[in-house]
Structure 1
Amino acid sequence: MARSVAEIKKTMTDAFMADETIREKYGLSERDTFGGSFSSVSLENILFFILAACYHVLEMIFDQHKIDIENKIATAVVASVPWYYKMALAFQYGDGLVFNETTQKYEYAKMDESKQVVKYAAVRDKGTSVQILVSGDKNGTPVALSNDVLTVFKQYMNRVKVAGVILNVISKDSDRLSISATVAIDPLVLNESGMRLSDGSRPVEDAIKGHLKNITYGGTFNKTKLVDTIQSVEGVIDVELHEVCYTDGVNGGWTALSGNNYIGSSGSYVVYGLENSLSYVVQD
């Protein structure tokens, strides 16, 4: 923000009065002030005022230039991954787009969060195309958009996207994981069915479900992090992870995860059949 003429002038006169050589030439002491030593019509005062006024105008020009640049950036379409993510979440089901002649972009005449049905989004740059994963929300869990909504969403993205970019829009139910493991337990805390003795809950199963739910939408499932989560449960002494299988619910069948990571095709994960795939043993 541009300083006032008075502020700029004071900065200069303070430095002027603090200079030992100048004080010696003018016969001034350290206690003297500029206003008390030079009249308003003195040559020194007039020169400092002129310089301060020039600097003030220059700073105002810089401020306006900064505002112009920021406005230019704000109205420009930067088709980055974060931009596509923002546009996906901004989708309003049932509202038409209008073309803004000033920004040269399609946008909604009025923002209405109640119509923004896309609650989860992830964007992946595939090199020759951009993949966009989207889901709605049901009780805090991602759910696939209905076919009707998905069709409209695809039309919306094709309208707002940069010309020439190929979009691959996907919305489907969460990838399912089957997790087989042996959990060594403290019998003072958990019984051999995985139930907590104090309240009858199943903390290991709850921890696994919570871990999958907390993976960032569009993120990666990691075996090591899953084991760490299970081991953090009170009453768990050790974990032996046997096998993790996955299915996207489209191609059918289960596939064993060979590596440490799995990137789901839906953007989210849920666990299947934990009550039959976990075994609990008492540590010797």
Structure 2
Amino acid sequence: MARNISEIKSEITREFMRNESAAERYGFESGAAFSDWFGALSVENILLYVWAVCAWTVEQLVSRHKAEVTAELEALVAHRPKWYRDKVLAFMADKELEGDSDTYDTEGMSESEVTAARVVKHAVATESRDASLLTIKVAGESGGARGSLSQEYERQLKAYISEIKDAGVRVALVNMAADTFNCTVDVYYNAMLQAGNVQTACESAIREYIENLPFNGEYTNMALVDRLQGVEGVQIVELRGSSAQAANESTTTQINARLTPAAGYFTPGKITVNMKAYDEQG
């Protein structure tokens, strides 16, 4: 971070007051405070201020030059997946890019208008080295719930990606409804509580876990069991099975330990919680 003029002048005055030759010539002790010996209108104070301004100017020029060189290098070097993710999140529906650039002119737009135009609320970009393919998963949001983009927005987004991507990069855009998650769980609960209340709490915990996974986050059977173990009244959890079905697939996939949703996110499907009173006597 570039220093301001006051910071630079303070460093110069400290070094000046530490200088043994200056201390001997002016008669002050080395390390004394500059302001105790030199007033605001003294020649020494004015000269050191001018030097500070010169140093500040040089630092500003160097900082600006560094930023310009960095921007030039980024324009020449192939971009990483994160750059594509950030660019997709910056996509604005029904807007044109500025001439020969990958940015929008948002002058005159309010913050709420910019937010509304950025219809992609969730995105992730992953690279497959074997297939030389960059896969970008996206989702919009309505009422706080994730969902696929409309066909029109998807068409615009594809055109936008085609415009901004590096030459030669193959991109696969994934914009689809959520994968449906199903599971069957046996829950042994404290017999002193009402089974229906514990069951409702368990179902809510499952839905909350599934719906709040990070976008393109990995589901695990272990994490689901851990979440259920935290529900009041639950003694033992036995996961009988879990499965998922992608929106573009006709078959259901059994989950063996873990799974990343094809769409990037899940929606709860058939959640079966079988309640069994826990008998401490076995």
What TM-score, normalized by structure 2, do the two folds share? 0.79
1:89 aligns with 2:89: yes
Percentage of identical aligned residues: 20
Amino acid at match of 2:104: Y
Amino acid at match of 1:249: A
Superposed, 1:49-198 pairs within 5 Å as: 57-73=54-70, 76-77=74-75, 79-100=79-100, 105-110=101-106, 112-127=114-129, 128-191=132-195, 195-196=196-197
CA distance in 1, matches of 2:80, 2:71: 14
* Contact 1:227–1:241 under 8 Å retained in 2: yes
State the SS of the aligned residue for 1:184.
strand
Instruction: Count residues in correspondence.
Output: 264
1:245 aligns with 2:243: yes
Deviation at 1:150, TM superposition (A): 1.2
Shift in alpha-carbon separation, 1:71–1:234, aligned structure 2, 3 A: farther
Deviation at 1:57, TM superposition (A): 2.6
Deviation at 1:113, TM superposition (A): 2.3
* Unaligned residue ranges in structure 1 (runs of 5+): 39-44
* Contact 2:17–2:32 under 8 Å retained in 1: no
Amino acid at match of 1:117: V
Deviations 1:229-280 (A, max 9, x none): 111111111101121111113221212122x210111000122111xx2211
* Contact 1:8–1:52 under 8 Å retained in 2: no
Q: Identify the residue that residue 207 of structure 1 maps to in structure 2.
A: 205
* Contact 1:123–1:130 under 8 Å retained in 2: yes
Deviation at 1:65, TM superposition (A): 0.8
Deviation at 1:146, TM superposition (A): 2.2
Query: In terms of Rg, which structure is larger?
Result: 1
Q: Identify the residue that residue 228 of structure 1 maps to in structure 2.
A: 226
Q: Identify the residue that residue 273 of structure 1 maps to in structure 2.
A: 270
* Unaligned residue ranges in structure 2 (runs of 5+): none
Q: Which moved more, 1:53-62 or 1:24-33?
A: 24-33
What TM-score, normalized by structure 1, do the two folds share? 0.79
Shift in alpha-carbon separation, 1:185–1:71, aligned structure 2, 3 A: farther
State the SS of the aligned residue for 2:191.
coil
* Contact 1:2–1:63 under 8 Å retained in 2: no
* Contact 1:178–1:246 under 8 Å retained in 2: yes
Deviations 1:207-239 (A, max 9, x none): 111001111011111111111111111111110
Shift in alpha-carbon separation, 1:138–1:31, aligned structure 2, 3 A: closer
CA distance in 1, matches of 2:145, 2:35: 70
CA distance in 2, matches of 1:150, 1:62: 45
Deviation at 1:186, TM superposition (A): 1.4
Deviation at 1:118, TM superposition (A): 1.4
Shift in alpha-carbon separation, 1:269–1:11, aligned structure 2, 3 A: same
Q: Identify the residue that residue 42 of structure 1 maps to in structure 2.
A: none
Cα RMSD for the two superposed structures: 3.4
State the SS of the aligned residue for 2:197.
coil
Amino acid at match of 1:91: F
